Amino acid sequence: MTLQQLLYFLAVAETRHFTRAAERTYVAQPSLSKQVRALEDELGAPLFSRARGNVTLTPAGEALLPIARRIVADVDTARLEVAELVGLRRGRVRVGATPSLCVTVFADVLHRFHREYPGIELVVEESGSKDLVRALTHGELDLAVLIASGEEAALTSVPLLRERLVVASPAGVDLGGDVRLAELRDRPLVMFREGYDLRDTTLQACRAAGFTPVFAAQGGEMDAVLRFVEVGLGVAVVPSLVLAGRPALRGTPLTAPEITRTIALAQRTDVAPTNAARAFRETLLTHLDELHRAGSLPAGVELAGR
């Protein structure tokens, strides 16, 4: 089994087409097919079903897919690690973050890291926590800042921040003091798309309080949801973090129960981080600690454990 065979296998698995896979890997299609067959012969099982041009993974192919992704990612990491022996003058770090974090403190951390290590390429993925956990597991990311949920048990994670969820409303709409969760029964909600972490958290809390919320609109990402609230479509349950710098919105704390989330930094347990990834981690931790000491963390956000 060779690395090149695994690269060809991944290309076919991702394109589900031998010709397109050959184009992606810059090799003649017959050569690619020959290498895939050689891999199948060595493993003793077909990896693809080839029925009238419809290429699908067999059970053996499905089993090999995540392993091949990890092997290729680990080889890439090894190359970067060796290259970094000359120092942090070049390299790459692949980081992920949830949408609510990308539009707040994470952007400042990226700017700071780029200023301190201009030769390090930053590859950023914005996605939900479940997708970030999957990307870390597959070796597609070095680090991810995500919402801790317990699903990252196979990863090593460090709690960073604890944040309260608040009810966002237009700045001119005063909801009074704290809003009891049950009061959302009578207020139309602007809701995030399916699969969004905040959607699941909000719906679970409402069901636990004995009701199903009414949606004014649903299906948006963070920026869209906040804009919908600004124009008065309804209210939304959001992290207090995202309201910083949005004077057109007001955040009212939720009570009975208070809903909080823990933001954590996660990485794979079985792979040592590259020098660039370690440098990014230190930049992130230093930045958050400085915000805390300066009293500059947004309202409703505190360092985890403090």
> pLDDT tens for residues 264-305?
999 988 888 888 888 899 999 999 999 888 888 877 888 986
Which pLDDT band, with edges at 50, 70 and 90, does 87 fall under?
low
Q: List the one residue out of 95, 36, 41 whose CA is nearest residue 68.
A: 36
Q: What is the pLDDT of residues 185-241, one digit of tens each?
A: 989 999 998 878 888 889 989 999 899 999 999 988 888 999 999 999 999 999 888
CB neighbour list of residue 204: distance below 8 Å, 6 or more residues apart: none
Over 70: is that where the pLDDT of 88 sits?
A: no
What are the angstrom distances between the C-alpha of 186 and each of 140, 238, 251, 298?
43, 18, 18, 29
Q: What is the pLDDT of residues 247-256, one digit of tens each?
A: 899 999 888 7
Q: How far apart are CA 114 and CA 123, in angstroms?
A: 11
Over 90: is that where the pLDDT of 54 sits?
A: no
- For the chain, list the domains and their CATH numbers: 3-66 (1.10.10.10), 81-160+262-303 (3.40.190.10), 162-260 (3.40.190.290)
Which pLDDT band, with edges at 50, 70 and 90, does 82 fall under?
low
Which pLDDT band, with edges at 50, 70 and 90, does 52 fall under?
confident
Q: How far apart are CA 294 and CA 290, in angstroms?
A: 6
Which pLDDT band, with edges at 50, 70 and 90, does 12 fall under?
very high
Q: List the one residue out of 52, 12, 60 whose CA is nearest residue 32.
A: 12
Write out the H or E segment, with its range, that includes residue 206: helix 197-208
3-state secondary structure 96-140: EECHHHHCCHHHHHHHHHHHHCCCEEEEEEECCHHHHHHHHHCCC
CB neighbour list of residue 124: distance below 8 Å, 6 or more residues apart: 95, 96, 97, 102, 110
Which pLDDT band, with edges at 50, 70 and 90, does 39 fall under?
very high
Q: List the one residue out of 136, 134, 165, 133 whose CA is nearest residue 256.
A: 165
| pLDDT at res. 89 | 64
**Is cis: bond before 159, omega within 30 of 0?**
no
Residue bearing tokens 């905040």: 198
Share of the chain above pLDDT 70, in %: 95
Count of H-run helices and E-run strands, the chain? 10, 13
What are the angstrom distances between the C-alpha of 139 and each of 72, 120, 166, 292?
8, 19, 34, 32
User: What is the rounded average pLDDT for all residues in the chain?
Assistant: 87
| pLDDT at res. 237 | 93
| pLDDT at res. 86 | 54
